[in-house]
Amino acid sequence: MLGAPLALAACATTADQPPSVLSYVPPEPVIDPAYVALYAALEGEPFPVPAIDLKRIVDPKFLRREVDYATSEEPGTVVVDPNERFAWYVLGNGRAVRYGVGVGKVEAFNFQGEATIAWKAKWPKWTPTADMIARDPLRYGPLRNGLPGGPGNPLGPRALYLHRDGRDTFYRLHGTVEPWTIGTKVSSGCIRLLNQDIIDLHDRVRDGSKAIVLPIRSEAMA
């Protein structure tokens, strides 16, 4: 289990100068080398997956780690809590891999309940939904035919497709071109992860696995 990702160095002042003339310079965070390696640039991909600048993460608690997680769900299940902005991949024996996520801007944008990860894709094509085009035709209208996988594609390097009752819900778990948005309410409803994290989750999950998106507590998303 990885340790605390960020540790702030102690701040010292000079005793022979009055406080009024001292200039405070915030100390640079010291990054845990294990996390530097975890979020380093990835090789062997058809398109670049750059390293994550960990200093831009909203909160270090959203970095990937293995944690205690009591659940009755079977190993291999993915559980998303939009209130806490976490997703868990259940390992079993009271353990899970936890990832930070970004969720929908408003409650109406968020999928809730059980689904099946019907399939998963590497460097997926992205196409805006009809609702997205209707809400913002100037932004999404020109993209109605979709974008191929690659740099700049908002789904990032991997996507997991949520189906319910054999039908596409149009909700995905996917990567992001905006890593600083993890831990926030930002998307049009899909669940976004850091690119290194969605690749890790993609490699763990099997097609047909169960996914659960927990109900939203209104006070948590206010």
Q: What is the pLDDT of residue 133?
A: 87
Q: What is the mean pLDDT of the chain?
A: 85
Q: How many helices (H) and strands (E) does the chain have?
A: 4, 13
Q: What is the C-alpha separation between 205 and 76, in angstroms, rounded? A: 6
pLDDT score of 15 more than 80: no
Q: What is the C-alpha separation between 126 and 121, in angstroms, rounded? A: 11
Which of 7-16, 131-140, 179-188, 195-204 is the least confident region? 7-16
Q: What is the pLDDT of residue 108?
A: 52
User: Within a domain: residue 101?
Assistant: yes
Q: Range of 175's domain?
A: 63-213
User: Within a domain: residue 206?
Assistant: yes
Q: What is the CATH number of the domain that holds 170?
A: 2.40.440.10
* pLDDT digit string, tens, across residues 55-83: 877 688 999 999 999 999 999 999 999 99
Q: Model pTM?
A: 0.82
How many domains does the chain contain in total? 1
Hey, which residues are catalytic here? Answer: 174, 190
User: Within a domain: residue 29?
Assistant: no
Candidates 5, 119, 126; CA nearest to 65 is 5
User: Within a domain: residue 181?
Assistant: yes
- Three-class SS state of 192: strand
Q: What is the C-alpha separation between 25 and 92, in angstroms, rounded? A: 45
